[in-house]
Amino acid sequence: MVKSVLVVEDSETNRQLLCDLLEKVFYCTVATAADGQEAVDSVKNVNPDLVLMDVGLPVMDGLAATKILKADPATSGIPVLALTGFSGAGDEERLLASGFDGFLAKPFDLAKLLEKMRGYLTQRPL
């Protein structure tokens, strides 16, 4: 079964990088959103298997969007991984405590990104 991912990222460059990686390395379809409100609206239509959520977003930040998704029984089971440039002491714990299911620091370390994705998606054979 083909998996689907919603990439929520306000940076066009990062959004495109993640889309290309997910489409070419993993068996999945990718939808995108540029802000938290768009993400909340898109999840209901896309019904993704995974959401990669930037924390610092316009309109509605990733924390608020994740809280909305986790509070809704229809979307609460969808894993949401935080994407953030904040990777100091305590940031990962704070984000996990606020409802995120995982954490990816930016700039992305390709090996770490692939390792995190393996837990949610099927990698194509090399």
| Predicted TM-score (pTM) of this structure | 0.90
- Evaluate whether residue 125 is within a structural domain: no
71, 44, 41, 39: which is closest to 58 by C-alpha? 39
- Evaluate whether residue 123 is within a structural domain: no
Q: What are the angstrom distances between the C-alpha of 97 and each of 68, 93, 110?
A: 15, 6, 25
Question: Cβ(80)–Cβ(54) under 8 Å?
Answer: no
Count of all residues that appear for the chain in the document: 126
Q: How many CB atoms lie within 10 A of CB 10?
A: 17
CATH of the domain at 74: 3.40.50.2300
- How many domains, the chain? 1
Q: Which domain holds residue 40?
A: 3-50+59-87+98-118
- Evaluate whether residue 126 is within a structural domain: no
How far is Cα 22 from Cα 75, in angstroms, rounded to an integer? 21
- Evaluate whether residue 10 is within a structural domain: yes
Give, for all 126 residues of the chain, the pLDDT tens digit. 788 999 999 999 989 999 998 998 887 899 999 999 999 999 989 999 999 999 999 999 999 999 999 999 999 999 999 988 766 667 778 888 889 998 888 887 788 888 888 877 765 554
- Evaluate whether residue 77 is within a structural domain: yes
